[in-house]
Structure 1
Amino acid sequence: MSLCLLSEISLPDAPSYAAVATDEYWRAPHVQQHQSLLGQLQSTLDLREQLQIFSMAAGNILPLAGVHLQTAIGDFGAAGSSEASHQHRSLLMLKEQCLAKLHYYSEQPFTPLICTRLQALEVEWLYSLRNALVVTRLQQMALKDTLTGLGNRRFFDDSLSKAIQLANRNNSHCAILLLDLDNFKQVNDLYGHAAGDEVLIAVAEAMHSTLRSTDSLFRFGGDEFAVVLSDDDVASSELIARRLVKAIQRQHSCQQHQVTASIGIAHWQKDQQPEALFSAADKALYLAKEAGKNRVRQA
């Protein structure tokens, strides 16, 4: 695999961060040897699995409460991580490029000898970590809309299925919002696709500023967008939808071209399949359009 994408995942100016673990996660069954650690790390390209392998090895040097990895493509915590009274940060550098920041937590102090031994483990991880970052970045790109950075239809389908599974398992709730832009076609027809792209980017920015979780925002292509709401936000789905409508309307590009948004809302019902939930939201969206656009309707 080409490593030319490393520049995309470098972290030249990594900000500080906090991590999140329980001691039971850090009790390895036996002491890892360097050779054994390197072999384990090279056995997987999954970033979370590598972090777990590394954290177990680090836990043999000092009992840890948590290990947290900060990268340009996301933050990752080892399973069960929690804060503790003592902390240690380390910058993972490879050939003058910053791959990530590591943040360790422990109830015991990080002595100079402990830090030196942890650094030796980090050196063992560098090349495997770089490869895992490249793979993770490619996986993320496959699930993103290239123009807006929102999730694509494939990511939406997967996220909706997982949201329904979680709601079913926990006896909780989920909902979806389907957005369609009003008067968008005339922007492309009259002013060209560059102007249309500017509007789409502005809509994505409005969605980002209105909702907390960026992983719940999607663009299907064209001027169709969606939001997946988890249990905490379902009760406020209509309020969230109306805030979205207003946020989009306030965008300069949308005002300039008189583009607004219509939204249809559907709440998941027990044993309802993803296709049926999507269809209900689509029907509600149609009602919003029929009501005069720039409207919100619930299924």
Structure 2
Amino acid sequence: MDAEQSRTAIDSTVAHPARRYNYWLGGKDNFAADRASGDELEAAFPNVRKGAIANRAMLRRATRYLAAEAGIRQFLDIGTGLPTADNTHEVAQSVAPESRIVYVDNDPLVMVHARALLTTSPEGGTAYIEADLKDPDTILADPTLRETLDLGRPVGLMLIAVLHFIQGHGSAKPIVQRLLDALPSGSYLVATHATSDFGTPEQQALYQQMMEQGRSDVWTRGHAEITDLFEGLELIDPGVVPASKWHPTPGDPAFADNEVNVWAGVARKP
């Protein structure tokens, strides 16, 4: 196996967040390991599917906000996940067909599906980078990024349900800051992040145990640490709130905070 084959090899025996998320959303692009991981988390936290649905709805609303109200025409979506309804480019290009989107994910299966299914409007553009959020310099240095986006113009940085895969206290903020430093004034950060804030003490203790035992790859963070990710930016009202409460629209599911367990925020770089 050469280096390229090794890089793009798909290991179906190890659960991957994108495929597990696909499973929770009712998709078919997942393996037994992904379903087993998803089922274990759902057994401990029965509302996890509701959180996935609320998070996806937040992506749709935030993308529409950036395209329709903020005038953003370029998007960098890191942690893309497997294609489903209302992907970032579909929402953005429904508002502004000339919108250009770069998707980034570290799962080769996501990239295979993305290149096959995520087509673009004739006026806009869609491109894909196989890379990991943990290595922002590789993302920023990829020629595909600069061929597709003009980093001299505002960009919508979409970090949807991906920062909680960065393990460790304080470890997410430097990555966010590195990405924002590469973007000009007028850019936006959209971030959603799993939290244990709404769980019972018993649930919080159980989740901490699962993380310590390596049974969960999601590193939950509290409201203060997630709000700190937006330091130096201008938070859009209502600030960092449960995902289902950020600019809800008619038809969105009305979940309780302890069913969603996801903080969400949108902010502008001054």
TM-score range, shorter chain: under 0.3
Which of 1 and 2 has greater Rg? 1
Higher helix share: 1
Higher strand share: 1
